[in-house]
């Protein structure tokens, strides 16, 4: 497929090996009302054959509901686990744009993390989730759509956040609404305020969407994330009003209100 060739060429130009590419399906990766010979998802009139073929060609392995990429810093002391989640459990003509992560996917993600072993030299291992749908609203829904319950969001966000709490996940990466957004979510871990835990939900913008699809920012944009020992640096690059050049914003620095006990070992 042409799309997989384009991604491979971008990765080659950046010096990124295909083993370090995380592929997550979006709502438009599912084909609605497919042909009679297409393989349909159970109980839904949708097919994901095109995405499965794309993922197979790009990564040379069959896609799964959840997968993990593990990275280690150059000095070997810090690690990062990036766990992919498929949020398209209900996506289709009857629930267009609505995200839902199935129980099997959440269970598989937990099992992957619990099976993994931290290298002996790594003193800190952080965990990030990456999925398509956002877990809190990042753009407004017109009232006519809201009255028809046409609200685009992750429908079972509390179930996801329970897993986030149990596994000490510090960042959730998502896309879907073409709108760059950084949201900090917190939950109670105990009776004392000092036991607050937090997770940062970071929404990507869009590199190629038309301006009328880009929300209040109204510009194509991408982010560079740098995880330092004590903070996360979010570097935003936004397309200017003329030409295709991207310009930088001021860096955003995040720290995490997460007890050390939440770290998965």
Q: What is the pLDDT of residue 38?
A: 81
State the chain's mean pLDDT as an integer.
Answer: 83
Structure tokens at 91: 């996506």
Output the CA angle 185-257-250, nearest 5 degrees: 75
Residue 146 burial (C-beta neighbours within 10 Å; 0-12, 13-18, 19+)? exposed
What is the CB neighbour count within 10 angstroms for residue 239?
18
- 171, pLDDT greater than 90: yes
Nearest to 135 by CA among 119, 120, 157, 152: 157
Task: Find the range with the poorest average confidence among 77-81, 89-93, 141-145, 251-255.
Answer: 141-145
What is the CB neighbour count within 10 angstroms for residue 154?
25
Summarize the confidence of residues 17-45 as an average pLDDT: 84
How confident is residue 45, by pLDDT bands cut at 50, 70 and 90?
confident
Partners of 46 in the β-ladder = 32
Summarize the confidence of residues 47-51 as an average pLDDT: 88
Is-contact 49 70, C-beta < 8 A? no
Q: How far apart are CA 52 and CA 86, in angstroms?
A: 12
Q: What is the pLDDT of residue 264?
A: 45
Specify whether the backbone of 15 is left (phi greater than 0), alpha (psi in -120 to 50) or beta: left
Is-contact 1 57, C-beta < 8 A? yes
Do strands 181-188 and 171-174 pair parallel, antiparallel, or not at all (unpaired)?
A: unpaired
Handedness of CA 140, 142, 146, 152 (dihedral sign): negative
Summarize the confidence of residues 113-137 as an average pLDDT: 90
Nearest to 227 by CA among 255, 199, 249, 247: 255
The more confidently predicted of residues 147 and 224 is 224
Q: What are the structural domain ranges in the chain?
A: 1-63, 65-262
- 101, pLDDT greater than 60: yes
CATH 3.30.750.180 fits 65-262, yes or no: yes
Backbone torsions φ then ψ of 168, nearest 5 degrees: 70, 35
Percent of the chain clearing pLDDT 70 (strictly above): 89
Q: How far apart are CA 229 and CA 124, in angstroms?
A: 8
First to last CA, the chain: 40
């Amino acid at each position: 497929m042409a799309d997989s060739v384009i991604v491979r060429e971008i990765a080659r130009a950046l010096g990124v090996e295909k083993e370090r590419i995380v592929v997550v399906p979006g709502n438009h990766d599912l084909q609605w009302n497919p042909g009679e010979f297409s393989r349909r998802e159970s109980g839904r009139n949708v097919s994901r054959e095109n995405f499965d073929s794309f993922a197979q060609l790009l990564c040379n392995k069959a896609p799964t509901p959840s997968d993990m990429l593990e990275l280690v810093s150059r000095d070997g002391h810090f690690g990062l686990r990036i766990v992919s989640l498929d949020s398209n459990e209900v996506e289709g003509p009857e629930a267009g744009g609505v995200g839902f992560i199935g129980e099997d996917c959440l269970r598989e993600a937990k099992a992957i993390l619990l099976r993994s072993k931290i290298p002996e030299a790594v003193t800190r291992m952080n965990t990030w989730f990456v999925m398509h749908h956002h877990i809190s609203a990042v753009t407004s829904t017109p009232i006519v759509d809201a009255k028809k319950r046409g609200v685009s969001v992750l429908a079972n966000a509390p179930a996801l956040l329970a897993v986030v709490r149990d596994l000490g996940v510090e960042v959730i990466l998502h896309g879907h609404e073409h709108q760059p957004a950084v949201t900090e979510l917190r939950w109670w871990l105990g009776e004392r305020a000092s036991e607050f835990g937090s997770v940062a939900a970071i929404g990507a913008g869009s590199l190629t969407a038309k301006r009328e699809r880009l929300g209040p920012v109204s510009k194509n944009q991408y982010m560079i994330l740098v995880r330092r020992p004590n903070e996360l640096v979010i570097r935003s690059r936004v397309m200017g009003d003329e030409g295709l050049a991207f310009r930088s914003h001021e860096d955003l620095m995040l720290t995490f209100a997460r007890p050390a006990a939440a770290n998965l070992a």
